[in-house]
Chain A
Amino acid sequence: MLQSIITVKNLVKKYGDFTAIKDISFEVFEGEIFGLLGPNGAGKTTTLEIIETLREKTSGEVYVDGFSIDTGPEQIKRRIGVQLQSAGYYPNLNLSELIELFSGLYGIDVKPMELLEKVALTDKAKSKYKALSGGQKQRFSIATTLINQPKIIFLDEPTTGLDPQARRNLWNLIQDIRQSGTTIVITTHYMDEAEVLCDRVAFVDSGKIIGIDTPDHFIDTLVASGFERKKEVKKANLEDVFIHLTGKEWRED
């Protein structure tokens, strides 16, 4: 039986005259990977930040693990992990010092090395965040979302700008985190990524949800309607060729 862990009801967000989110409603179930898909400016990040209690809503209701964002933002913050799009970290600190800082901010004791081990960054413990590669930065960002052992983590375009190896490596990490029982809400531009990772996806366009279902069901419905790809579908694509030729190992380390 699916238990809802996030409930969004009739959410509206206005910036002056512009309505960024137009009355959206959806649920995220416990333990699933839920994808918010859509073009830039569709309102994915705004929706995410309202749920994360980082942005004020104009109207509507949002519940996270039973707490309303209006009355229990502190409770929610303690139950979620947040990765922001393009966020930096405190300057001049190395990774284990950054984890120490976050552990103080959450009021939770963590061993930096254990956490870094989860994201395969133990050898970078003494490096500065700025000195990491793109894939390492994203892995570290994900590590910081796990510090408070959250029930839900939010990942905002975690794979944007990564090379195929780093991207697939991150997929594995995200699947491992879900395996340990954490619910994941993710935004992405990449449909192949959503197809591999997400149990359910919602398509967001111009501030509205225009469809919400499992990737398989979306595809089956489209095919049943008589849709056919212009090009004959092959059993592999060019990215498979790239990975096959260059190897699966991460290039960044």
Chain B
Amino acid sequence: MDNNRSYSHTRATLAIAKASFRSIVRSPSAVVFSLAFPLIFIVVFGFIGGGGIKLKVGIAPQSDTSNAIYQALKNIKVVKLINESQQEMTTDLVKGRIDAILNIQKNPQKLPAYFLNAQYSEASSDKGNILKSMLNTILVSINNRAVHGPPPIAELRETTLKGREYKTIDFILPGQLGFSLLSSGVFGTAFVFISLRITLVIKRFFATPVKRSSIVLGEAISRLVFSLIGALIIILIGHFLFRFTLINGALTVLNMLALSALGLIVFMGFGFVVSGIAKNESSIPPIANMITLPQFLLSGTFFSIEAFPSWLQPISKALPLTYLNDAMRKVAFEGAGLMDVKQQLLIMLIWGIAIYALAIKVFKWEE
């Protein structure tokens, strides 16, 4: 035996990383949670999304349809006219399945020539308001043409800037990516370390010259490589199949991967804490869910946090995933660089420091 040869910690670290990577790739739950799960959501939202606003307007059966107002509405793309029985229509309106009911009637007393009876619903007040202003515009222009009165005092000249279309996938994909990183970081790390601890794999490692830091680093490297490959697959599938916007192409992808790496490292800190607190493998899910579920719901994974009531927003704005999602969307859709999202990065960094400080306190190497 040659004992004088120097021992390589790098080699030991990489040996652990390689073993760990092989193990992750062969574990069905890792593949399902990191890849299949987010991809299913992306596919679902990829197909149902992209429509933009549609106003569904019921036309009352007794309504007059031979007038200019009806024709004008018929020519507006976002308005979908619906014909059904009065009773069905009323039920649909109450439930918000349609946004308004219109009943256009000829005025027997000549002027004004028509009455436009519009019924809205509280179930769909946003769209009702949009329709209201649309009807006003139509009526103003029709009335002006009819009267041949004095020339208008002011004329509206509208121009619309050509912007990028913000598709559902542009919102959903970063959220799913963030959540995939969160669950891989928390669940994956917690399960690996608790099982290595309980089955005495770590103890057997300690009988070799390997350092503790090599064990942690080796595991982190493999999870990082696995998750970044997963992120790349998600981004590329999103881009090529569902037209996910990558504003600066490959550079945007690289920035997203850098964000993914930072996010994963922070989330792995939670995983180390969970593995230290949990007594055995079956107590991991309840503890880990307490960390992942609120972020899944409140960090803008599915809905923009602006849609939440104001008392909930401070909670959303305290969660690290919120900032990862936010930074991801800014980078992907607005083409922001990493320096443009430094505020988000800073908050994630603070979370990282806090959680690793806690992890050092609660992490256990042996039973």
Contacts and interface: CB of A to CB of B under 8 A. Distances in A.
Nearest to A87: B200
Given A97-B19, A102-B208, A106-B209, A89 B201 contact: yes
B1 A148 contact: yes
B257 interface: no
B196 A105 contact: no
B12 to A, nearest CB: 5
B277 interface: no
Interface string A169-207: 000000000000000000000000000000000000000
Interface in A77-115: 77-80, 82, 84, 86-93, 97-98, 100-107
A84 B200 contact: yes
Contact of A97 (B22, B201, B205, B209): B22
B206 interface: yes
A104 B15 contact: yes
A77 B7 CA distance: 12
Contacts of A148: 1, 208
Interface in B11-25: 11-12, 14-16, 18-20, 22-23
B195 interface: yes
B204 interface: yes
B208 A90 contact: no
Nearest to B208: A105
B260 to A, nearest CB: 24
Contacts of B22: 92-93, 97
B206 A105 contact: no
A153 to B, nearest CB: 11
Contacts of A80: 207
B211 to A, nearest CB: 9
Interface string A115-154: 0000000000000000000000000000010001111000
B205 A105 contact: yes
A107 B10 CA distance: 10
B8 to A, nearest CB: 5
B88 to A, nearest CB: 58
B341 interface: no
Contacts of A102: 208
Interface of B: 1, 3, 5, 7-8, 11-12, 14-16, 18-20, 22-23, 26-27, 195-196, 199-201, 203-210
Interface of A: 52-54, 74-75, 77-80, 82, 84, 86-93, 97-98, 100-107, 144, 148-151
For the complex of A and B, 7 pairs with smallest distance between CB atoms: A104-B15, A88-B199, A82-B207, A87-B200, A92-B23, A105-B208, A101-B19
